[in-house]
């Protein structure tokens, strides 16, 4: 009986009575208001937490998505650059193939000893009247040799290194060469006209020279074979009172967009 008067028993009995009371209150429904208060009390706090947490979550989600978008844009931009580079390569190849096709059409029908050369650069040393080729003395290139494109005289070699050479274009004001009118055989001289055209000079006034007359090399210079086409007479520049006839020549060659040429060895 001594256990009944102990502190442990008192605690146990108190808990038992409290539990019994709670059971009775639950059965009677007296605890419903208390439960409603307990359950609803955290809702404002939950709403507050959600109102703060949701924007934060959205912010970090947006940052993450933006990072993915930036990375994707970077990848797509690089792909676009690569595609553009491929397109440039395809266009360049197409131009080269077209240029080679035109040149090979002439090569098949000539007996000249030709050395094919690629144009490395135009406007050497800032001058608009020359080219640099990728072939030189190792390929049999020497100063004074004729340079042709599509069967037409384009210029002549003015310097030859071992692996490269310089060309003076036909249109240069420093260029001159012997020439003749194909129909009459009358000899004359062709000169460049300040990088804009070609002039035929020293044709006797009595000689037959009309628009459309074909002008070719005369072969007086041993390094420039005869009968290489220079161009056609496009305009008569002299009058009947001049001692010699003078004419402008036209050529189908685009002197400032050459990619391949042939050097006559």
* C-alpha to C-alpha distance for 16 and 14, rounded to whole angstroms: 5
pLDDT classification of 91: cutoffs 50, 70, 90: low
pLDDT at residue 153 in the model:
95
Tokens encoding 32: 């419903």
List of residues 6+ apart from 148 with CB closer than 8 A: 106, 114, 154, 228, 261, 262, 264
Among residues 110, 111, 137, 129, the alpha carbon closest in space to that of 168 is found at 129
Q: Torsions phi, psi of 221, nearest 5?
A: -80, 120
Which residues have a Cβ under 8 Å from the Cβ of 52 and sit 6 or more positions away? Answer: none
Q: pTM value?
A: 0.62
For residue 36, pLDDT over 70 is answered with no
**Res. 186 pLDDT band, cuts 50 70 90:** very high
Q: Which domains does the chain have, with CATH numbers?
A: 7-41 (no CATH), 114-264 (2.40.10.340)
**Region 50-75: what's the mean pLDDT?**
75
**So what's the pLDDT on residue 194?**
76
Q: For residue range 96-144, what is the model confidence (pLDDT) as tens digits?
A: 556 566 666 666 677 889 999 999 987 766 567 899 999 999 999 999 9
Percent of the chain whose pLDDT exceeds 90: 42
The region that residue 45 occupies, defined by phi over 0 for left and psi between -120 and 50 for alpha, beta otherwise, is: alpha
Write down the pLDDT at residue 82.
Answer: 75
* Stronger pLDDT, 193 or 94, i.e. the higher one: 193
Q: Mean per-residue pLDDT for 33-50?
A: 62
Nearest-CA neighbor of 243 among 214, 198, 205? 205
Distance (Å, rounded) from C-alpha 139 to C-alpha 249?
A: 32
pLDDT reading at 1 higher than 60: no
For residue 157, name the pLDDT band (cuts at 50, 70, 90).
Answer: very high
pLDDT, residue 132, reads 93
Helices (H), ranges, the chain:
7-28, 32-40, 43-107
Closest CA to 182 of 210, 156, 155: 210
* 3-class DSSP assignment, residue 183: coil
- CA distance linking residue 165 with residue 142, whole number of Å: 8
pLDDT attached to residue 127 = 66
Check residue 110 and give its pLDDT: 78
């Amino acid at each position: 009986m001594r256990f009944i008067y102990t502190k442990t028993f008192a605690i146990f009995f108190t808990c038992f009575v409290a539990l019994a009371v709670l059971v009775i209150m639950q059965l009677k429904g007296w605890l419903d208001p208390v439960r409603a208060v307990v359950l609803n009390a955290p809702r404002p706090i939950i709403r507050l937490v959600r109102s703060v947490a949701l924007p934060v979550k959205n912010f970090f989600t947006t940052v993450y998505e933006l990072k993915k978008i930036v990375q994707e844009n970077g990848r797509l931009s690089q792909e676009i650059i690569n595609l553009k580079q491929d397109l440039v390569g395809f266009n360049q190849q197409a131009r080269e193939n077209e240029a080679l096709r035109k040149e090979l059409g002439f090569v098949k029908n000539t007996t000249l000893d030709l050395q094919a050369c690629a144009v490395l650069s135009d406007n050497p040393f800032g001058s608009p009247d020359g080219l640099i080729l990728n072939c030189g003395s190792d390929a049999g290139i020497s100063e004074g040799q004729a340079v042709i494109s599509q069967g037409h005289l384009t210029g002549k070699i003015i310097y030859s290194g071992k692996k490269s050479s310089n060309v003076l274009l036909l249109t240069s004001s420093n260029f001159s060469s012997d020439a003749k009118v194909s129909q009459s055989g009358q000899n004359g001289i062709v000169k460049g006209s300040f990088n804009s055209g070609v002039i035929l000079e020293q044709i006797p006034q009595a000689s037959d020279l009309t628009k459309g007359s074909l002008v070719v090399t005369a072969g007086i210079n041993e390094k420039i074979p005869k009968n290489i086409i220079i161009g056609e007479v496009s305009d008569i520049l002299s009058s009947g009172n001049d001692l010699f006839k003078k004419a402008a020549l036209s050529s189908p060659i685009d002197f400032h967009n050459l990619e391949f040429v042939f050097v006559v060895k």
